């Protein structure tokens, strides 16, 4: 069974940014990135520059990361259309699936905020749902289950988990998971099990200030205004997280902040002095600009190479107001024959 793999990351993002109280800086929603003198360098801010890590890249156990796929990408056979199904993971107070949740699957080139999903959408069945789906939901930890037929393997996908209740009744914020990649090797009886995660309002609302960077607009959700959160990990060719990777966003936006953790596996906290990933490989970008001209962001990972920082992978996504976007950066993607 394939899980979304973001639970540890979300614990860090949504529950540990609580250390900085007071001293908050007033922020205009989606204003451009300004320099220290307050002069606007562009609609979205100047291009960000990377910071060279102080130590060589390594895996959590100390081995060197596998970067062979940079020059020799994995080659896979053609994908198949399968049934994508599984339990729903929920991050937030309540811990049970609620009515009106949906899971939708998009192709990588779609806009999941406005377009109909190419590969289908499913209501999340609850334990009160009649028939097989209700029985499957009842067996899940959070009592929610979905199933979508006709989803391709060996293709980068976007999965969106969202709440279709009215604005006053919604319990979840829109959650976008980029680059979900299902493999033929995972198929069992025509299906691949994948457990997506959705963020409930209770957790999203707990994101506080980090060094004067609140998530602007988060107090009023579902109004298509305000900023967003992006989080993910840096992976090598084997899918193992890489320590000592600098992750650089597209823009030098003074109203946003990219941070890493202190590496404490039991109680991770932000380390605002680090300029590279710790042993968990996590990066978090707070208060991402969601303005139309600036909503596309590229996150590039680089590692120490001599005295320079060598790019080893990147991920380009769109971010949307009042949402959480999850994306892991990979060294290389497989080539499908």
The domain segmentation of the chain, as residue ranges, is 2-18+39-336
Is 6 exposed, middle or buried (CB count within 10 Å of its CB: 0-12, 13-18, 19+)?
buried
Cα 251 off chain centre by:
18
**Is the Cβ–Cβ distance between 157 and 137 less than 8 Å?**
no
Pairwise CA distance, residues 44 & 123, whole Å:
37
Contacts of 3 (CB under 8 A, 6+ apart): 89, 194, 195
Model pLDDT, residue 251: 94
**What is the structure's pLDDT at 223?**
64
Q: What is the pLDDT of residue 221?
A: 59
Q: State residue 261's pLDDT score.
A: 86
The pLDDT assigned to 22 comes to 32
The pLDDT of residue 209 is: 46
Confidence at residue 200, expressed as pLDDT on a 0 to 100 scale: 83
pLDDT of residue 211: 39
Q: What pLDDT does residue 144 have?
A: 96
Element (H, E) at 13: helix 7-15
Q: Is 293 helix (H, G, I), strand (E, B) or coil?
A: helix
Q: Which pLDDT does position 210 carry in this prediction?
A: 43
Distance CA 282, CA 263 (A): 9
Chunk the chain into consecutive blocks of 10 residues (it has 337) and report each block's average pLDDT, rounded to whole numbers: 62 52 37 46 83 95 96 97 96 80 97 97 97 97 97 98 87 93 98 92 61 56 78 95 97 90 80 91 92 95 95 97 94 95
Cβ contact 231:283 at 8 Å: yes
At residue 49, the pLDDT reads 92
Under 8 Å between Cβ of 317 and 295? no
Model pLDDT, residue 37 = 45
Backbone phi, psi, residue 15, to 5°: -120, -10
- Residue labelled with tokens 């941070």: 259
Q: Cα-flanking dihedrals φ and ψ of residue 253, to 5°?
A: -100, 110
């Amino acid at each position: 069974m394939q899980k979304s793999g973001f639970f540890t990351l979300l614990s860090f993002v949504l529950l540990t940014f609580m250390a900085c109280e007071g001293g908050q800086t007033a922020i205009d929603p989606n204003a451009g990135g300004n320099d220290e003198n307050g002069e606007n360098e562009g609609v979205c801010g100047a291009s960000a520059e990377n910071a060279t890590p102080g130590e060589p890249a390594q895996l959590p156990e100390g081995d060197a990361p596998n970067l062979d796929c940079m020059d020799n990408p994995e080659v896979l056979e053609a994908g198949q259309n399968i049934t994508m199904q599984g339990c729903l993971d929920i991050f937030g107070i309540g811990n049970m699936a609620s009515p009106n949740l949906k899971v939708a699957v998009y192709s990588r080139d779609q806009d999941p905020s406005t377009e109909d999903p190419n590969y289908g959408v499913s209501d999340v069945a609850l334990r009160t749902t009649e028939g097989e789906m209700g029985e499957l939901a009842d067996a899940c930890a959070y009592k929610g289950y979905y199933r979508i037929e006709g989803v391709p393997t060996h293709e980068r996908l976007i999965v969106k988990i969202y709440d279709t209740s009215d604005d006053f009744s919604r319990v979840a914020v829109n959650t976008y998971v980029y680059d979900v990649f299902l493999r033929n090797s995972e198929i069992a009886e025509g299906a691949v099990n994948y457990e997506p995660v959705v963020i409930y309002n209770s957790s999203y609302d707990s994101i506080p200030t980090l060094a004067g960077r609140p998530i602007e607009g988060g107090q009023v959700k579902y109004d298509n205004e305000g900023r967003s959160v992006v989080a993910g990990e840096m992976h090598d060719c084997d899918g193992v997280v890489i320590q000592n990777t600098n992750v650089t966003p597209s823009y030098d936006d003074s109203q946003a902040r990219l941070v890493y953790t202190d590496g404490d596996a039991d109680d991770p906290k932000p380390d605002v002095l680090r300029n590279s990933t710790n042993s968990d490989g996590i990066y978090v970008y707070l208060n991402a600009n969601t303005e139309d001209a600036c909503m596309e962001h590229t996150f590039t990972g680089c590692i120490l190479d001599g005295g320079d920082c060598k790019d080893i992978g990147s991920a380009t996504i769109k971010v949307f107001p009042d949402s959480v976007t999850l994306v892991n950066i990979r060294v290389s993607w497989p080539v499908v024959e």
